[in-house]
């Protein structure tokens, strides 16, 4: 049982789970919640490019036999905020279920705009292909996963072949992913990040739906008012209509931040997000 002090420290996060607060507020989650044991950070800040933001961490189970399946997790933050150190709770949760987990940073608005953050995601995947075997991962069994803007990056890498890594991705999981969100809100974060694209359709994962896409699991909270659940439903339907494998799963009473917090120990009882995502990926990445 958690102490009264621990419970009090979680009170602000309980409020956060019920709200659509900035994702930057999650950076303190690692310090105040109990983490999953039996895992360790193998790599802290490996460079996959020349920019200071182009670095990544690698997490893995402490006791592992043979090469493990790999998840590359992209955090969200409206394409303008976030830091990998704030997402150790996600890496630990997934690593404890038998994965090598890679968490990259990527360049953000206003330093860059479209498509720099997707290019950074592709560069991180190429680093994984070249280096993950040295850290206990199987480069032939790689999936991508992300939340919000990170899910947008993950889905584009899996669906749009022009980034050069789609063929290396065996499966993808999106948490509250924006997949079909034109037109942009005037003056909003999507317009700020993506509005410079010569063809705005190129910024939409649904534009690249194809029957031979890697299997997709698209998870969403029914109460998400930041990225509406129809994004996941529409992409899943588009892939399925083309003969591919995609499923959208919507959890009741869960919002935009809550679906991410459900990966952490204190909030797993709210929804089976961690179990559903890890079971799906273990199946798709089976040797």
CATH number, position 56 = 3.40.50.1820
3-state secondary structure of 71: strand
- 146/231 Cα distance (integer angstroms): 14
Can you list the pairs that 190-194 forms with residues at least 24 positions away whose Cβ atoms lie under 8 Å? 190/79, 192/79, 192/80, 192/109, 192/110, 192/113, 193/78, 193/79, 193/80, 193/109, 193/113, 193/114, 193/117, 193/149, 194/79, 194/113, 194/114
What is the residue whose two structure tokens read 């948490």?
175
3-class secondary structure per residue, 29-52: HHHHCCCCCCEEEEEEEEECCCCC
For residue 30, the model assigns a pLDDT of: 62
Q: What is the pLDDT of residues 26-56, one digit of tens each?
A: 555 565 555 788 999 999 999 999 999 999 9
Residues forming beta bridges with residue 273, ordered by sequence position = none
Domain that residue 179 falls in: 4-19+26-284
| Cβ contact 251:35 at 8 Å | no
Number of domains in the chain: 1
Residue 131: how many other CB atoms lie within 10 Å: 17
Q: What's the start-to-end Cα distance of the chain, in Å?
A: 38
Query: Can you give the pLDDT of all 287 residues of the chain as single tens digits?
Result: 333 333 333 333 443 433 333 455 555 556 555 578 899 999 999 999 999 999 999 999 998 778 999 999 999 999 999 999 999 999 999 999 999 999 999 999 999 999 999 999 999 999 999 999 999 999 999 999 999 999 999 999 999 999 999 999 999 999 999 999 999 999 999 999 999 999 999 999 999 999 999 999 999 999 999 999 999 999 999 999 999 999 999 999 999 999 999 999 999 999 999 999 999 999 999 97
């Amino acid at each position: 049982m958690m102490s009264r002090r621990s419970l009090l420290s979680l009170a602000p996060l309980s409020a956060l789970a019920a709200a659509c607060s900035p994702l930057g507020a999650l950076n303190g989650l690692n310090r105040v919640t109990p983490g999953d044991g039996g895992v360790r950070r193998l790599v802290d800040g490996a460079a996959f490019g020349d920019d200071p933001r182009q670095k990544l961490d690698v997490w893995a189970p402490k006791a592992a036999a043979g090469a493990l399946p790999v998840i590359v997790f992209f955090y969200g933050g409206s394409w303008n905020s976030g830091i990998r150190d704030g997402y150790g709770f996600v890496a630990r949760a997934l690593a404890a279920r038998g994965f090598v987990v890679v968490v990259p940073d990527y360049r953000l608005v206003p330093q860059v705009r479209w498509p720099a953050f997707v290019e950074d995601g592709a560069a991180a995947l190429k680093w994984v292909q070249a280096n993950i075997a040295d850290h206990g991962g199987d480069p032939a069994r790689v999936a991508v996963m992300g939340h919000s803007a990170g899910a947008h990056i993950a889905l584009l890498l899996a669906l749009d072949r022009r980034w050069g890594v789609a063929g290396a991705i065996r499966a993808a999981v999106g948490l509250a992913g924006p997949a079909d969100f034109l037109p942009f809100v005037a003056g909003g974060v999507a317009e700020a990040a993506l509005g410079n694209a010569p063809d705005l359709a190129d910024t939409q994962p649904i534009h690249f739906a194809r029957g031979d896409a890697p299997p997709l699991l698209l998870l969403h909270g029914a109460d998400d008012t930041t990225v509406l659940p129809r994004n996941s439903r529409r992409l899943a339907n588009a892939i399925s209509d083309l003969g591919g494998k995609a499923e959208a799963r919507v959890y009741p009473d869960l919002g935009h931040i809550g679906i991410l917090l459900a990966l952490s120990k204190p909030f797993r009882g709210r929804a089976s997000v961690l179990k559903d995502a890890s079971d799906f990926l273990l199946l798709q990445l089976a040797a």
